[in-house]
A = this chain, B = another copy of it.
Amino acid sequence: MSLSSRRSDARANRERILAVAREALAADPEASIHSIAKAAGVGQGTLYRHFPTREALVLGVYREGIDDLVVLASSLLDEHRPMRAFRLWCRRFGEYAREKHGIAALIRSAMSERHFAETYSMMVDAVRRMMQACSDEGELSDPADPEDFLQALALFMQLATTADGLARSERLLDLAFRGLGARDGPEQTTAYGSKAGAPE
């Protein structure tokens, strides 16, 4: 029993570290490992046992939200015309990136990270599905590589730390959509009962 209680302690430590890190990184994306370990009430060694590198910790913190985004892509595609779904998803992604400051840089670096490869490829697939749906519906005449577009999104979001930057990132997103040859679906179609105004 001592073994399993040890292990459950370790498990609890891991969860506590994640919870503390989630909060600390939201408050300050450059919060130090020392401060996170201290706030979690563990030694730095313990933190490193669970997350062998700073990036691994950040990954652990953001993975959940990113998985949510992948799921969101599907449900938006079910509920809206493809282009509207795609745009809403990008907006949601932007909001998430603004909360969790580090995510944009993370997605950039995560491209090559082993441990994040699966989650990353699921994101790329989500973008691919949305883009494909838009193409199929003739709402997008000039599709690009989904991974390219995801990377562009992540880059734009690096700007969204200030109010000005946020506005700029949205304008650049519009520019990118124009680059894709996006034609917003026939909003006058009342079939979906969308008022086209208030999103969410």
Q: Give A residues with C-beta under 8 Å from B.
A: 108, 142, 144-145, 147-149, 151-152, 155-156, 158-159, 168, 171-172, 174-181
Contacts and interface: CB of A to CB of B under 8 A. Distances in A.
Nearest to A182: B179
Interface of A is mostly: helix
A144 B181 CA distance: 16
A93 to B, nearest CB: 16
Given A178-B178, A179-B176, A181-B178, A145 B158 contact: no
Contacts of A108: 158-159
Nearest to A149: B175
A68 to B, nearest CB: 25
Contacts of A145: 171
A151 B142 contact: no
A178 B149 CA distance: 14
A5 to B, nearest CB: 44
B176 A148 contact: no
Contacts of A155: 155-156, 158-159
